[in-house]
Structure 1
């Protein structure tokens, strides 16, 4: 690699290096002969990242040549240029590399100089630069020998030795949930935020203290942004944040300079607030505690004591909410009991309609058919065609009424169950998770549905059976009493019976 060759030839001290996110400018005035240095240097250009482009300016005693690739033609062009001068001529090389972000990876050729660049600009500029290059993750591919280090989503690793997919560390929906919570609970001014404190919290630290410090400061700053009610970068470069809790605290920081231990506490407070449930409540609790945990200058004091105070207050919060939780669970239980009672009531409605239908038939038979029939012309007229027509009409009406009753009861049950569930979610979704409400309601609704359908099927079958039996019995009696002669004649026509048998039938 390029830096290794410069170190081997002891030319790093004769080099002027300036490396940024997007470019590298390397100027070398070697103190060894051209032929001893240049051929191998040209070969090292082949180790540059394929995603980057370069221009090499080779000046010898005031004349120069330029190449932009490592082809044979380019090398021969430089050889021809060298041949015009003696081997001991003074020369200078200037290499300009244009770096590109491809597949979430950016090249770093000189880590020390890159870290110098990061410390020379403001933290806000560093955040903006990383934000521009960041898309769920970012890999800095380092073209020198280093041990891998970084955060969950931003990693520095040696070229050719990075095999893991960073997307597996921080899922997109998790990031979006945290950013959504930020926008719901806080405001930011003068800068856009699409990065998390997690992106800069180093899981594995490096031997490059400047990079460690930058990541610690940015992680701390973003943790404050996520915890505060509002934050902004002022025109003079200072960072201003406000926390509204028991008291309202505003603090302006000219520089962000936190110890690693302070960063750990800030990150721990942020992570606890934004992970798990009840995030909005936890953020409010954190603000309350921070607003009264101040130093002698009325500045927010970040130490282990504030972390312990937050945890203690949260335990009190949980105890206070246990009673409310139990009351809500009891109310849900009452809704469930009422729902079950309505289910039994609906089953009773089917039974009541069934009884009413039977009562109609019995009333008809006793008051209309029997009384009127015996009073008028005797028993034969009970099963007359007129009364048969009435029975048929009653049977049809009863069948239609049965169908409507069954359909309406089942529809009412589904509607009532859905309404109860919706009411519970609207009233208690901020206290209980929807899945917890579903776990309370769904099994009971399912059990009630099965019970109701079984009762409906049972009553409906009995209802249908009685209607059919009553109608068939009355029709049979009608044929026997009113149409026996016609029935016998039809029977004679259908059955092959001789005259003696016909006479027997007539007798």
Structure 2
């Protein structure tokens, strides 16, 4: 008679021999050959329900110690052998009897299952099960994810409040059995439930686990507040939910929040409410995709609209720079025209004067001309200060606008629209024009001063 039990830590097989039957080396070899990786074998042997004698098998030579017990029995004695395989559980879970293991897992709560698995697979990117039988196999979707798993975990922890669930560091793909032998069918039922609940957790605003109770809240067009019992959970249309999860978390972090918000709204309208069921209608995922396309189109149109508006503002800054350039040129022209008018009027008044033979420039004219030239100099200083002030205002306006729009555009777009190089070019153009015409202005003042001085005192 053989009695088999198995949990996450130990595989145990209790063998009761017939009266007088001796221990055969083949039986010992059979269990020793089952060992996977660094798992170890312990044997406890009792005769006629006596206190068992225990053996730790480290190599084949240890079988001799076990077989020596055969010398101590008679024809009426009954051997009870208990074989225990202690699992090392180093990033790999050994399963020696899938049915016995399933029976154990089925007695655990959801929280206990996740706890046991997380203790074994801490630091591992995927669940890895091994069986001594070549016919037993299983493959999970997460084995194809690589570094994407950690990215999805990070995004989940940022975008959803999973409370005591995200501590296990599992994603739905970890329980998605894409290939498996028939022997894993019962275990798949449990894992499908876990995958289903993790899919919900990756979509919900809030989710938590308490023993077998899974509670979550999803805030869309309407608030969804559910309690699901893991043991009695009836899964319907779970692939629709999984497609939504994969679509949301397949891209970069920048789009996840937008997709989550949109999906929550649509999901809240496509739920069929039944006891201990969370059913999503068949067309839910397609509705989300359609809504997202509209959302993107609206966003693109708004983006283009905002970008055009900003481009207009940027062009306005350039126009202001041209206005400043025009201001210095206009001031120079006005000053030149004023001085020209003044000196022409001196000659005109002198020609019309009854004493036209007198000298045109005398001390009074000289002093008055100095006042005029001094006013022109002050006008130049005021003009230069005004230009600097306008340039400073333009520059501050430029950077304040850039700061306002930094939350709308990414850095590359923002730097392209608000180009420092373009701003520098505009400012340099204004300054170059200001320097050129200020130089002309000063030359004009000094020339007129020299002419006035010469005509007054040396002619």
- Whether TM-score is above 0.5 comes out as yes
| CA deviation after TM superposition for structure 1 residue 182, in Å | 3.0
1:302 pairs with one of 275, 279, 282: 279
The match for 2:25 is: 36
| CA deviation after TM superposition for structure 1 residue 314, in Å | 6.3
The match for 1:217 is: 193
The match for 1:196 is: 171
2:238 pairs with one of 232, 257, 263: 263
1:472-496 CA distance string (max 9 Å, x none): 676688889989xxxxxxxxxxxxx
2:402 pairs with one of 417, 436, 451: 417
Task: Tell me the matched-pair count.
Answer: 427
The CA RMSD measured in Å over matched residues stands at: 5.0
The match for 2:262 is: 281
| CA deviation after TM superposition for structure 1 residue 375, in Å | 4.8
SS at match of 1:171: helix
Contact 1:289–1:309 (Cα < 8 Å) also in 2 = yes
The match for 1:461 is: 432
1:63-118 CA distance string (max 9 Å, x none): 7654446258xx35x5356446439876444343443443x333333333222221
Pair 1:356 & 2:344 matched: no
SS at match of 1:24: strand
> What CA distance in whole angstroms lies between the structure 2 residues aligned with 1:246 and 1:395?
69
> What CA distance in whole angstroms lies between the structure 1 residues aligned with 2:427 and 2:210?
72
SS at match of 2:37: coil
For structure 2, the 5+ residue unaligned runs are 251-255, 348-358, 455-459
Contact 1:221–1:256 (Cα < 8 Å) also in 2 = no
| CA deviation after TM superposition for structure 1 residue 168, in Å | 0.7
| CA deviation after TM superposition for structure 1 residue 286, in Å | 0.7
Contact 1:223–1:267 (Cα < 8 Å) also in 2 = yes
Matches within 5 A, 1:467-506: 467-471=438-442
The match for 2:354 is: none
Matches within 5 A, 1:25-424: 25-29=12-16, 33-34=22-23, 36-37=25-26, 40=29, 44=33, 47-50=35-38, 52=39, 55-59=42-46, 66-68=54-56, 70=58, 75=61, 79-80=64-65, 82-83=67-68, 85-86=70-71, 91-102=79-90, 104-135=91-122, 136-146=125-135, 148-153=137-142, 168=146, 170-183=148-161, 194-207=169-182, 208-226=184-202, 237=212, 253=229, 255-258=231-234, 262-272=237-247, 277-290=258-271, 293=272, 302=279, 306-308=281-283, 311-312=286-287, 315=290, 326=301, 329-353=304-328, 355-356=330-331, 359=334, 375-377=361-363, 406-419=391-404, 421-422=405-406
Q: Which has the higher contact order (CA 8 A, sep 6+)?
A: 2
> What CA distance in whole angstroms lies between the structure 1 residues aligned with 2:344 and 2:43?
117
TM-score under structure 1 normalisation? 0.64
* CA 1:380–1:452: 2 relative to 1, 3 Å: same
